[in-house]
Amino acid sequence: MAAVARAKARATAVPCGFAPNPAPPMLTTPRLQLIPCTPAYFEAALAGHHILAAVLGVAAEAGWPGSEEARQALAPGYQHLRRDPGLAPWWIYLLVHRADQRLIGLAGFKGRPDEQGAVEIGYSVAEAYRGQGLATEAARALVQHAFAQPAVRRVTALTQPRRNASCRVLEKAGLAYEGPVLDPNWGEVWQWGRLRPVAAPVSVAAPLRAAGVALLLALGSCGGEAEKATAPPTAAPAAADGMVDAGRALFEQNCALCHGPDGKRGLNGAHDLTKSNLNQMGRVYMVTNGLGKMPAFKGQLTPEQIEQVAAYSLTLK
């Protein structure tokens, strides 16, 4: 009880001589409240989810916030918000089930809109509350909140590179599959996006790429039980035979040592090319810039040769 009292005091206290930052708005859906996670709420969460629930005046669902990755990211998320309190509207929101008065998950943004007016969303819901459309409600609330801000032109999200419950949530929230991309922490992931429905003036926001990549990817990929892996929603176009033939010689000269002639060798951490979902564009990016132990071929091969190697690698699937 003493810990709860201290947490409640921190949640309402304002240091002498300081004006409090305006609180971000709470978002509401038919079944959820999305409460901005202030530094005081972060402190309560780090003390224990039951402490946070008591401060909020609700119960706490076992297993909150829904994934171990999300739980481990609370501490760095707290530190980043302390350094930049004005980030709160574009950071983490606590999910409270209104009828049950229960803390059931997290949702939020990776940070402020970037130079192109894009923001990234994610979520995590406790297992007992999955499969009820609650993640979809949270995602729609985030999208609606984002597009209510003039700076936002596009909402994006990342998922694991396979069909799963999070893909369905994003589709229901109006996001469309855009293809595989490479994330520096997670490797190959799927990107989803939705443009602002109606054109509006765009203001330039501070170019902050907040330190929450691991958290938001974890949130976006753990919303429900994964389904059996399937191919991406769209397939890569077939390459011309001439490009493939030229690419084969280049592949054997530059790539076969690690990947093997069939793409399966896996030497030095090389990916199994027969199982990769990367399309032509993604493979061109990988060959051009490298990733992990894989060297960048930007200075060794011409752009045309890189296209040819990527085209040949697609035939190994």
Mean pLDDT for each 10-residue chunk of the chain (317 residues)? 45 39 81 96 94 95 86 89 93 96 95 94 94 96 95 95 93 94 83 80 40 49 41 48 82 84 80 75 74 76 85 83
The reported pLDDT for the residue numbered 297 is 85
The sign one gets for the Cα dihedral 48, 50, 55, 59 is positive
Cα–Cα dist 44/48, whole Å: 6
Angle between helices 280-289 and 303-314 (to 10 degrees): 130
List 157's β-bridge partners, or say none. Answer: 192
Side chain identity, residue 76: P
List of domains in the chain: 2-221 (3.40.630.30), 241-314 (1.10.760.10)
Give residue 73's pLDDT. 81
pLDDT value for 315: 87
Q: Is the Cβ–Cβ distance between 183 and 213 less than 8 Å?
A: yes
pLDDT at 271: 77
pLDDT of amino acid 170: 96
Contact assessment for residue 95 and residue 32, using Cβ atoms and an 8 Å cutoff: yes
The Cα 48–Cα 60 span in angstroms is 10
Supply the pLDDT for residue 281.
67
Angle at CA of residue 163, ends 311 and 157, nearest 5°:
85
Do you find a cis peptide bond into 237, omega within 30 degrees of 0? Answer: no
CB of 258 closer than 8 Å to CB of 284: no
Give pLDDT, residue 293. Answer: 65
